[in-house]
Structure 1
C-alpha cells in the first residue's frame, strides 16, 4: 500500500475488544477439537481461524452492478492441523445459503464475521477436505480502524475490491489472515461489455446470453488481503517484458491516455527491481488503473497493483517492490507490516538514487532533520511496535521502516547489503516472516557486525533516536 496517496483521517484509538468465547467441543479424551475463531493476530484478533491450513480457493461468482448483487460458490480446499468437529470461516455480511463438507451437507451458524461449520463427520488431523459455501447478497464496504475504506467498493461502472487488512472477507469466505496463503481459481460472470480483472493469469473469457465469464488462475501462494477483483469498463493491454514475462494492464476508459503513459516504464521498473531484489517471484505482472475517486489509496494486489488514477513513477516503484516485500515475503502478522512497507518505501529511495536524484543517504538525513514537518507522527512510535490497529499503516511504519533498512545498508556496505536483500527474498519466497525472523537473518549473515543499536533505537525505540 502507498501511504503517500492514502487519505488520513483523525480517528479515535480503538480499544481491544474481548473475543466472544469460541464454541468448545472435545473428544472422549478431553482434547479440544474445535478450531479457534481467530489466528491470534495482535491487532486483528478475529482475523483468520485456527485448526486448518487453506491450500486452494475456487471461487465461481456472478456480479450484477446495477443491482449491486454478488452470488456464487466458494470451494475451499484445506488440510486439518488438528482434529476438527467444527471450524470457522471469515465472511463479513452476505447471506449463506448452504454449506457442504466433502459433499455432505453441514450445519452452520453465524456470529459477526464468523461462519462456524460443523461437518457431518469429524475431520482427522492431517486430513485434506473441501468445504463449499453458497452465498449471495450485497457485498459490504468495511471501514478500517484508521478510517480508510476497503472491501467491496462500488464504482460508476462496477466495483473494485481492496483487502488490506481484512476487506477480503467481504467477498468470499475463507481464512482471512496473511499467515495462510493459498492458490486461487476465480471465475467472475458480469454483464457483457464489462471486464472482470483479478490476480494471476486470464485462463478464459466466454460470452453467453449477454453475460461474460472471466476465469483467472493464481498458481503461486497468495495471502487473502492481496486478492483483488475489479469490474468495469477497461481498456486492456496484453504484452510481455523483454524476458518474456506476461503483462496484463487494465485501465479505466476515462483514464486511458494518462494511465498508459504512466505505465510505459513498467518493464523498466520490473527489470530494475529484479536486478536489486532478486528473481521476480510470480508468473505475470501488470496493473489496474481506476478512476481517482474509486479508492483512496493504491494497493499491492498480487501480480497487478490497483491504482486510483495514473500513478507517478515513484508510486509504481513502491507497489512493484511489494511483489517481493509483502506479496512473496508476507508479514506473519499485521504487527510486522514494516517489513513490507519499510522495504517498499526504501525501494523508492533507491530508484531516486539510481535515477540521479537525491541519494538514499540524503533522503535519510533530510527525513531525520525535517521529517516531522511532512509526517506529523514520524517519531510517535517505533515501526515494529505500533500502539494499536489504527497505526499499522502509520508514517513510522513506512518512513522509519525505510530508515531502519538504510541503517542496515550503512552498516554492511552496498555489496553485502544487496546480497542480504536478495538472500532474504530467496529464503522466504512465497512464505511468511516476522520481525524476529528478519533481525535474526541479518545477524546471521553478518556475524561480525553489531546491530543492537539499530534494533534498540530505530526499530523498537521510542521517540527520535540520537543523531545518526
Structure 2
C-alpha cells in the first residue's frame, strides 16, 4: 500500500459537460423514466447507426421543458410528441426540449430520431464506445461498453445513474443477416428483410436496468445452454459465444453456477431470473451488462488476459466472477451517484475474497487480500464529489474491499456482519444507495456509531496510522487519524489475541517483559509506525 501524500490530489475540475450530466437539474427531475423502446439499424461496414428511441415517463412536476442526453457528435433528426415536432436546444451532450404544458402525474411518451457514427472505444471497457472488431476468421465482431462515459454516446436517454427505467426496456437492432445479435434480457423476435439482407432482433428487459448496462453484441454467435437448480427451482442459463468457442464455453462456463449459488447464499436471490442470466463472449475484457454479462478473458482460471483475473488459486475465472458480482453490487444495489462507486467495485472485490474464504478457508482469503492491498494508492478519498458525473473508480476496488474487511473485524461478530451484508443487499434490491445509507444500516444493526471510522476511510485519502512502542513491561499506542477516531483493533501478546481501543491520546497496557507483540494488521487497513516518544510522559 502506497504512503499517502500530506494533501490529497485534486478531483477533476468540473466541466460544463459533467455538470449537465452529473447534476439532477429541474429539467431532469421533472420526469421519471418508465420505459425505453430502442430501435436502431447498425451499419457495420460504415460504423454507423440510425434509429429512434421512445421514452415513456411520468411527470414528477408541472413542466414545459426537459433535458435528455445524447453525444453532441450524434445527429439529432427530431423530437416528437403528440404529432408535434418539438423545439430543441443543444448544450454539450445535453438536449433541452420545449414541451407543451405537461402536468404532474401525467404519463407521456416522446420519440427521438437520431443517427451518426458513435464514438469508437480506444481501450474498452475503460474507455467507452463501440468496439468494431473482427473475429479470428476475419468476420465482423461488434460490441459496446460505456460505463462512466455514458450511454448517451450511442443512444438518447436521461443519462443519470439514479434514474433507471422502472418497467425495463425493449431493444430492436437491425443488423446484417449473417450476424446474430445479443442484447439484455430475453429474445422476443427475429424477423428477416430478405431484400436488404438484414435481420431484426428484438430483446426485452422487464426490470429496472442501469443505463450503461444496456448493450448490443454482434457476431457469429451460437447458444450454449445450461441449467441451474437452486432451492428446488430449475432455471436456464443461455450463454452466447463465437461458433468456434462452443466446446470450450460449454465446459468453462459451468462454473457460473457455482458463482451464482455463492451470491445467492451470501447476498440473496439473483434479481433478474425473469430476464435470464447469460455470459456473452466479446473482444474486450468484459462488463457487467445486466442479464448479459460480457466475457473476453482467456478461458483459463490460471491464465487470464489480465494478470489480476488469474489470482484466484485456480478455483474460478476472476473476470467471470467479478462481472457477475455486479449483478448484485451495481446492477441490483446501485450507487445513487457515481461518487459512491465503491458500492459497486469495492463490494465486488470483497465478494471475491469471501468466495475464496468460502471455498478455501479464512487464511487463504487473507493471503488474497494482502496481495491486493499492494495496489492501494491513497491519492484521493474513495468517495468523490456528488452531482459532477465523477465516477470514483481508482481505489474504490481494493480499498473499498479492505474497508469491508476492516469493518468485519471491528464489529468482531461474523453472524452480525454477514447478516448486515445479506440484509442490506436484500432490503435495497433494485434500489439506489449511498455510503451514508450503508453507514446508517451498520449503526442500526450493531448499535454502535461508526461515523468517525467511515469518515476516516471513505472521505479522507489517508488510512489511520497506529503509532506504538514496546518498552519493558509496557506497550504504548495511539492513533494518528482524524479527531475522535477510536477504532478498536486486535493484537497478539505472546500468541494470545487481545483487543485494544486506541484513541488519539497515548495509552498503555501492561505486558510481561520481553513479550512478543504482533499487531494484527492483516485484519485492519492501517499503517504501523514505531514511535519511541510514546514512552515519554511528555510526548505530544
TM-score between both structures, scaled by the size of structure 2: 0.73
Match of 2:142 among 159, 164, 169: 159
Task: Summarize deviations over 1:185-224 as a string: whole Å, max 9, x none.
Answer: 0011111121111111111222231222111111010110
2:118 is paired with a residue of what secondary structure?
Answer: coil
Match of 1:123 among 85, 102, 110: 102
**Deviation at residue 357 of structure 1 after TM alignment:** 5.7
**Deviation at residue 37 of structure 1 after TM alignment:** 4.7
- How many residue pairs match? The answer is 426
**2-structure distance, mates of 1:421, 1:351:** 14
Distance 1:247 1:103, change over 3 A: farther
**Deviation at residue 113 of structure 1 after TM alignment:** 1.1
Residue 441 of structure 1 corresponds to 441
| 1:224 lines up with 2:224 in the alignment | no
Distance 1:439 1:258, change over 3 A: same
Structure 1 gaps, min length 5: 1-11, 21-35
CA contact (8 A) 1:169 1:176 kept: yes
Match of 2:15 among 14, 17, 23: 17
Match of 1:371 among 370, 373, 376: 373
Structure 2 gaps, min length 5: 1-9, 135-139, 302-316, 466-520, 525-540
**Deviation at residue 430 of structure 1 after TM alignment:** 0.8
1:425 is paired with a residue of what secondary structure?
Answer: helix
CA contact (8 A) 2:41 2:51 kept: yes
Residue 253 of structure 2 corresponds to 263
Residue 404 of structure 1 corresponds to 403
Match of 1:250 among 240, 252, 268: 240
2:175 is paired with a residue of what secondary structure?
Answer: strand
Moved over 6 A (4+): 386-391
Residue 208 of structure 1 corresponds to 193
Task: Summarize deviations over 1:105-132 as a string: whole Å, max 9, x none.
Answer: 212232321122112x221122211110
Correspondence 1:254-333 to 2 at 5 A:
255-283=245-273, 284-291=276-283, 295=284, 297-310=285-298, 312=301, 313-333=317-337
1:409 is paired with a residue of what secondary structure?
Answer: helix
Distance 1:194 1:147, change over 3 A: closer
Correspondence 1:3-14 to 2 at 5 A:
14=12
CA contact (8 A) 2:125 2:286 kept: no
**2-structure distance, mates of 1:359, 1:389:** 39
Distance 1:75 1:451, change over 3 A: same
Specify the structure having the higher radius of gyration (Cα). Answer: 2
TM-score between both structures, scaled by the size of structure 1: 0.83
Correspondence 1:446-461 to 2 at 5 A:
446-447=446-447, 449-452=448-451, 454-461=453-460
Correspondence 1:54-93 to 2 at 5 A:
54-92=33-71, 93=73
Residue 80 of structure 2 corresponds to 100
CA contact (8 A) 1:259 1:289 kept: no
Match of 1:111 among 71, 76, 91: 91
Distance 1:434 1:391, change over 3 A: closer
Task: Summarize deviations over 1:408-457 as a string: whole Å, max 9, x none.
Answer: 3221522222211221112111111111111111111111x352453133
**2-structure distance, mates of 1:102, 1:359:** 64
**2-structure distance, mates of 1:393, 1:17:** 18
**2-structure distance, mates of 1:219, 1:76:** 15
Residue 351 of structure 1 corresponds to 355
**1-structure distance, mates of 2:199, 2:16:** 45
| 1:184 lines up with 2:208 in the alignment | no
